[in-house]
Amino acid sequence: MIKKIVKWLAFRVIYPCAYRVGCIRRLNPKKVIFAEVRHSFLTDSYRLIYEQLKKLPDYRLEVVYLVTNSGGPGYLWRYLKLCFKMGSAGCILCDDTCNLFGAFKLRKGTKLIQTWHSCGAFKKWGECISDLSFGEDIEELRKYPAHTNYTLCTVSSEECIAPFKAAFGLPEENSCVKAIGVSRTDVFFREENKVRAFENLEKACPEANSARKAGKKLMLYAPTYRGDADKAYIPEELDIPLMKSALGDDYVLLIKRHGFVKRKWDIPKDCEDFAFDISESMKIEDLLFVSDICITDYSSLIFEYSLFERPMYFFAFDLDEFYDYRGFFYDYNEFVPGPIVKTSAELTKKIKTGEGFDKSAHKAFRERFMGACDGNSTKRIVDYITS
């Protein structure tokens, strides 16, 4: 009961009052705030936008770290400071769900941009999972809305507009969700980033890079986490010794754990020359550049990887269970641009023979879900901010 009262007071009284005090100051159209909702560093959701705006004269940029998942009472003070700062800002950007941004009506002339932190539309979230065990109650979501004030929400294609509106609880007539692309995908269209990715591979995993130079291909295994976000764990069903036995002459395996998963992958001793957990030493963007094929399950990285039009394999051993647990916007069996397998033996066979990769289907997937990502997304977002 006490928590509910505190939440009501914060949302209905404290945050709005702090914002109104901030509004006493004159609005500065060139003041831009980047609100990092979960992280304590500037993420790729913002980096290119920040760099472009920094080149413009008189723009005042500020990054505010909310770190909503850190726990403790400190978040209230961070929220209050942001409310006050927002009062005079011409533009605020956020990259995740945070009901602070729906606690009050923004003053005229202020833009609020949701850049989101992933491309496409795959697993359900927001109001679309309110009936699931880990989803928030629909009445609570609507009582304390997070998404009502956006002036722009950037998505990777026209196909994604409807799912985003559904997840955010936005009415059909709301036109803030627009397919102008996702800023962080611009890195994949720059040759210098590809060169740098291979340089980083050499630093992070020289054994894998040497194998690549000797003619072996790089397999990336990047599964999503299992369990709830605060207790995320690794799906360890992948049989690494079997993969080495079947594919070791032609491939090496790079493993990238989901960011929520902290425990390292347990790689057998006799497979340490074949499989490498480089989760801490390489960013996912670099890994997408260097890998020849991608093995995943329900991760949204398939959208970014589709830009390369390389083979993808879907190791979905727990598909029925995961579908019931989380739910998808699309029928998984018809949606993914590659073969679905449920055992390591089946996976190795598909990779060895190249069976199941349909380049035309892959291209259609890219156009459907990433059609607005063309290397110029950041420019379009910056143009909106400065208009």
The pTM (predicted TM-score) of the whole model is: 0.92
The confidence score (pLDDT) of residue 82 equals 97
CATH placement of domain 190-370: 3.40.50.12580
**What gap in Å lies between CA 197 and CA 26, rounded to an integer?**
44
> From its phi and psi, is residue 377 left (phi > 0), alpha (psi between -120 and 50) or beta?
alpha
The confidence score (pLDDT) of residue 325 equals 67
The strand pair at 177-178 and 217-221 is best described as unpaired
Its sign, for the CA torsion 114, 117, 118, 121, is negative
Nearest of 363, 360, 341 to residue 350 by alpha carbon: 341
Instruction: Work out the pLDDT band at 134, boundaries 50, 70, 90.
Output: low
Looking at the chain, how many residues does it have?
Answer: 387
**Contact, 368 vs 183, CB < 8 A?**
no
Nearest of 341, 317, 320, 344 to residue 331 by alpha carbon: 320
State the first-to-last Cα distance of the chain, in angstroms, to the nearest integer: 46
**What gap in Å lies between CA 340 and CA 384, rounded to an integer?**
40
The confidence score (pLDDT) of residue 211 equals 97
CATH superfamily to which 16-182+374-386 belongs = CDP-glycerol glycerophosphotransferase, N-terminal domain (3.40.50.11820)
Measured from the Cβ of residue 132, the count of other Cβ atoms closer than 10 Å reads 13
Above 70 in pLDDT, residue 72? no
* Average pLDDT over every residue of 129-133: 72
The set of residues, in sequence order, having a beta carbon less than 8 Å from that of 287 and lying 6+ positions away, is 197, 220, 222, 254, 256, 278
Q: Report CA dihedral (323, 325, 328, 333) to the nearest 10 degrees.
A: -10
Fold match between domain 16-182+374-386 and domain 190-370: yes
30-54 confidence digits (pLDDT tens)? 999 999 998 999 999 999 999 999 9
205-261 confidence digits (pLDDT tens)? 999 999 999 999 999 999 988 877 677 788 889 999 999 999 999 999 999 998 788
- For the chain, what is the largest distance between any 2 Cα atoms, rounded to a whole number of angstroms? 68
| Mean model confidence pLDDT for the chain | 93
Domain spans, the chain: 16-182+374-386, 190-370
**What gap in Å lies between CA 30 and CA 58, rounded to an integer?**
7
Q: Which residue type sits at 265? A: W
In the chain, what percentage of residues exceed pLDDT 70?
A: 97
> Which stretches of the chain are DSSP H helices?
2-9, 15-22, 47-54, 74-86, 138-143, 161-168, 191-204, 206-213, 240-247, 284-290, 301-305, 319-325, 332-335, 344-353, 359-370, 377-386
Distances (CA, A) of 78 to 5, 32, 93: 20, 17, 16
